[in-house]
């Protein structure tokens, strides 16, 4: 990146005569300039495809007769038929409820662990921080297919070392791929894979807390625990909000874990989560129109939940600020 140590504003005297108004104009326009690449990429690779998906969602395929050959099918206007179907689909609703139950486990546990480990990493009294940082982050680097292969292996009763371990201490080994434990088994994969990622986000924020804050806390006689609770956590609140926001979205769009565990058990259907339903419609069923409508419904529900949370967090934030 750019050379550190160069004094900011070294060329300043030459420009100073440019006048305050020119500077104000450039300061006013600058943010738009900085955001130009973002805007261009967003328009091309988000807005346009999303618009296209919306278009697809109000269209449908109309088959003529047998539907074979060049004149077998045409794309026609469908109005809201695809949406009606998505909203009245009991399997989609059941999937949404399953995912909410799953999210209720994943989000708090994963973020709790992430915050906890991030605080430990930021505590000088803890040994092995470098090692901990790497190993806890490591699962994030393991691709989904492999993660599923390995957890699937660790879950199957007849081959799992876990079963051996439990039986050795005389405990019955539960069938992790059936009934209620299934939720835990799925959540575990997400928690295993996601904790390190969120930990790093929070840790990066912790590293940005200025030294004098710590110094002040120490002089005030705060114990490390008090420092963590009263100073560090409030100061990394924006990062916590960020991780929460994206975790909610990731949870509602859960796909990898159930998809990859599905072949191992009779208890996971191909439409276990709403996004699996979208994938099935789009990539195995070949009905992109139904898939697009379902995806829009998921996006709207996610919008309400995630932005609702963001609004809530912001409101609390503002109240605290006003109180100060």
Partner 1 sequence: MRHRATATCVATLLTATALGGCGAADDGAVRLTYWAWAPGMEEVVELWNEANPDVQVTVKKQASGDELVTKTVTAAQAGTAPDLVQAEYQALPTLASNNVTADISAEVAGVEDAFTPAVWQQVTLGTDAVYALPQDSGPLLFFYRADLFEEFGLSVPETWDEFAETARALREIDPDRRLTTFSANDAGLFAGLAQQAGAQWWTTETDRWRVAIDDEAGRRVSAFWEELVAEELVDNQPMYTPAWNQALNEGRQIAWISGVWAPGTLATAAPDTEGTWEAAPLPQWEPGANVTGSWGGSTTAVTTDSEHRAEAAEFAVWLNTDPEALTALVQTCGIYPAATAAQTGEALAAPPPFLANQPEFYETVAEVAEGAAPAAWGPNVTVAYSAFNNAFGAAAGRRAGFEEALAEMQQTTFDDMDRLGFEVVQ
Partner 2 sequence: MSTASPLNTVDAASPANARPASEGGGARRPRRFAPLPTAALLLGALYCLLPVAWVAIAATKAGDELFSTFTFAPGSGLWENVSDLHGYRDGIYWRWMVNSALYAGLGALLSCAVSALGGYALALYRFPGRETIFNVLLAGVLMPPVILAVPQYLLLAEVDLTDSRLAVLLPVLLSPYGIYLARIYAAAAVPADVVEAARMDGSGEWRIFRSIALPMMLPGLVTVFLFQFVAIWNNFLLPYIMLSDDEKFPLTLGLFTLLNQGSTTPALYTLVITGALLAVLPLIALFLLVQRFWSLDLLSGAVKS
Q: Where does this chain bind partner 1 (CB under 8 A)?
A: 2, 60-70, 72-73, 152-153, 156-159, 178, 262-271, 280, 282-287
Q: Rounded to the nearest whole angstrom, what is the least distance from the CB of residue 168 to partner 2 in the complex?
A: 14
Taking residues 126 to 165 in sequence order and writing x for each that binds partner 2 by CB under 8 A, - otherwise, the string is: xxxxxxxxxxxxxxxxxxxxxx-xxx-xx----x-x----
The answer to whether residues 251 and 99 touch, using CB atoms and an 8 Å cutoff, is: yes
Tell me which residues in 239-298 interact with partner 2 (CB under 8 A).
Answer: 239, 241-242, 245-246, 249, 253, 255, 275, 278-279, 282-283, 288, 291-292, 295-296, 298
From the list partner 1, partner 2, none, pick the one residue 144 interacts with, judged by a Cβ distance below 5 to 8 Å according to partner type: partner 2
Q: Determine the Cα–Cα distance for residues 165 and 77; give it in Å rounded to an integer.
A: 59
Confirm or reject binding of residue 1 to partner 2 (CB under 8 A): yes
Between the alpha carbon of residue 212 and those of residues 83, 124, 203, 208, 233, the distances in Å are 56, 16, 18, 11, 16
From the list partner 2, partner 1, none, pick the one residue 65 interacts with, judged by a Cβ distance below 5 to 8 Å according to partner type: partner 1
50, β-bridge pairs: none
Q: Rounded to the nearest whole angstrom, what is the least distance from the CB of residue 159 to partner 1 in the complex?
A: 5
The answer to whether residues 69 and 53 touch, using CB atoms and an 8 Å cutoff, is: no
Confirm or reject binding of residue 12 to partner 2 (CB under 8 A): yes
Nearest to 261 by CA among 94, 147, 104: 147
User: Phi and psi at residue 280, in whole multiples of 5°?
Assistant: -60, -45
Among 62, 223, 226, 314, binds partner 2 (CB under 8 A): 314
Helices (H) and strands (E) in the chain, counts: 16, 2
Q: Can you read off the two tokens belonging to residue 273?
A: 């989560």
Question: Nearer to partner 1 by C-beta: 269 or 302?
Answer: 269
From the list partner 2, partner 1, none, pick the one residue 46 interacts with, judged by a Cβ distance below 5 to 8 Å according to partner type: partner 2
């Amino acid at each position: 990146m750019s050379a550190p140590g160069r004094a900011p504003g070294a060329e300043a005297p030459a420009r100073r005569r440019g006048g305050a108004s020119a500077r104000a104009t450039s300061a006013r326009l600058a943010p738009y300039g900085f955001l130009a690449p973002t805007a261009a990429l967003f328009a091309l690779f988000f807005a346009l495809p999303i618009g296209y998906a919306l278009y697809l969602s109000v269209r449908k395929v109309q088959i003529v007769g047998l539907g074979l050959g060049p004149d077998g099918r045409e794309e026609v206007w469908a109005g809201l038929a695809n949406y009606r179907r998505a909203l009245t689909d009991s399997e989609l609703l059941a999937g949404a409820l399953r995912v909410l139950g799953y999210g209720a486990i994943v989000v708090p546990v994963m973020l709790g662990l992430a915050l906890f480990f991030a605080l430990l990493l930021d505590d000088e009294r803890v040994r092995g921080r470098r090692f901990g940082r790497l190993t806890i982050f490591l699962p994030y680097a393991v691709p989904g297919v492999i993660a599923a292969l390995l957890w699937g292996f660790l879950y199957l009763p007849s081959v799992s070392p876990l079963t051996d371990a439990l039986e050795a201490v005389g405990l019955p080994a539960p069938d992790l791929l059936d009934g209620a434990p299934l939720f835990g088994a799925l959540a575990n994969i997400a928690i295993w894979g996601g904790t390190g990622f969120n930990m790093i986000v929070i840790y990066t924020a912790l590293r940005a807390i200025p030294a004098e804050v710590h110094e002040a806390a120490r002089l005030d006689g705060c114990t490390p625990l008090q420092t963590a609770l009263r100073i560090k956590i409030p100061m990394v609140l924006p990062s916590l909000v960020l991780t929460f926001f994206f975790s909610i979205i990731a949870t509602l769009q859960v796909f990898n874990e159930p998809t990859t565990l599905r072949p191992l058990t009779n208890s996971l259907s191909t439409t276990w989560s709403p996004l699996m339903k979208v994938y099935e419609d789009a990539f195995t069923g070949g009905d992109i129109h139904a898939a697009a409508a379902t995806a829009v419904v998921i996006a709207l529900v996610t919008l309400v939940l995630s932005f609702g949370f963001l609004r809530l967090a912001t409101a609390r934030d503002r109240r605290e600020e006003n109180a100060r």
